[in-house]
Copies of this chain bind each other. A is one copy, B any other.
């Protein structure tokens, strides 16, 4: 039995609060249970040098964890003067995931910067960040449409992410911290609304895992992501931010 009493294929309570802060073009507080990530999408009317004059846009992401988002305080990266390897890995993943669903040519010479800041951590911060970023980027792009800067929203599809893992021998969906810190295999899956895989990252923490286990985990993730995308759509169908 899972520490949270959830079923093996049960997500934590998911919540999207759009318009959580007021300055960003898109601003969403995403909650996967006790994991709370503030995701903003900022639009800048220019692109990095390597893309200038190519008629297409760019999207990049940054990730941070407030020092006391975690059980024990961790050092502030700005004070240490460098971002950890983990942070860099996560922000690269978020950027790739969102770039997979935005039509860069349709975006034009603009850059979207996604900032994902973890206010409270309870496992799955990167998957919550990707899932929330989809909503925040959608809002930011809708604002460009509303302002008449774009004819149509250049988001081609939805994208969401979830973690799956083998906890005490059982494949489970959406690991929280007690599960994450005690599981044998941990996998993050990023998938689009049309069911295409964008990223699959599976790691054996202890014993290696088998193809059969991999298949079971992918099955759980597919269902979980389909449900997350329904929730994203419902959130976006609400009053605009």
Contact = CB atoms under 8 A, between A and B. Distances in A.
Contact of A210 (B23, B34, B197, B204): B197
A119 B199 contact: no
Given A120-B22, A197-B204, A211-B218, A89 B92 contact: yes
A100 B199 contact: no
A12 interface: no
Given A66-B117, A78-B87, A208-B192, A71 B201 contact: no
Interface in A19-41: 21-24, 27, 34, 36, 38, 40
Interface residues of A, number: 65
Interface string A119-141: 11100000000000000000000
Contact of A62 (B40, B79, B117): B79
Interface string A201-241: 11110011111001000100010000000000000000000
A116 to B, nearest CB: 10
A54 interface: no
A109 interface: no
Interface in A81-132: 81-83, 85-89, 91-92, 96, 100, 113, 115, 117, 119-121
Contacts of A96: 203
Interface in A63-87: 64, 66-71, 73, 76-83, 85-87
Contacts of A191: 208
A199 B210 contact: no
A207 B196 CA distance: 8
8 contacts: A21-B120, A78-B78, A89-B92, A187-B200, A191-B208, A195-B210, A197-B209, A211-B218
